[in-house]
Amino acid sequence: MAQIIRITSEALQATIRRLLPSQQGFGEDLQASNVIQPIIDLTPTAEGSVLPYELQTAQAFGSQTEFSVGNNTVTIINTPGFFNVRGTWAIVGNSPAFENLVFKLEDGTTSKNIYNYRKLTGANLAEFLTGDYNMTFFLQTGESLVIQASTNVNTTGSYRQIADVAGNLVNPVGYQPQ
């Protein structure tokens, strides 16, 4: 059986007055019912801000930042947030030397290897070894993504921020909801 109970909370009434200015002069107490009423929030759809994940993370001309690292160590990203990083790598396979490609997360004092491909010394393989990657990283303030490539290693790719540090999605540049 449904019951209706009066609520006499000044805090709730103040919030109602603030959020619904047209109700400021409403003199009745708030009421609550023990009947469950489902609420469907259509606000994001009405605002046009709903975009499926696959589309929200799409590569876009204005969103991508290119990089190329060979025989070097380069900081790729040092901004807080979520980033999608994708690209390809190549290693000279018939080189007699040890070759290494490493993706690292660093916080200024510590380094953690996230992705590492090695060709061992004397492992004369095919002329070139190649591969690709598609990874998502989360960086906090003070952290960075670093790529280290040895002498006969090259990687090229691009990255794009897909969400800020609070997890708010970042749509591709140029996307305009209808």
Per residue in 12-30, pLDDT (tens digit) is: 777 777 777 665 555 666 7
Rounded Cα distance, 134 and 140, in Å: 20
Please give the CATH topology (third level) of the domain spanning 53-163: Jelly Rolls (2.60.120)
Output the six-digit token pair for 1.
Answer: 């059986």
Place of tokens 């070139």: 128
Give pLDDT, residue 98.
79
Give pLDDT, residue 64.
96
Domain map (residue ranges) of the chain: 4-37, 53-163
Give kind and range of the element (H or E) at residue 12.
Answer: helix 10-19
Comparing 9-13, 38-42, 121-125, the range with the smallest average pLDDT is 121-125
- φ, ψ of residue 138 in degrees (nearest 5): -115, 125
Comparing 33-42, 60-69, 168-177, the range with the smallest average pLDDT is 33-42
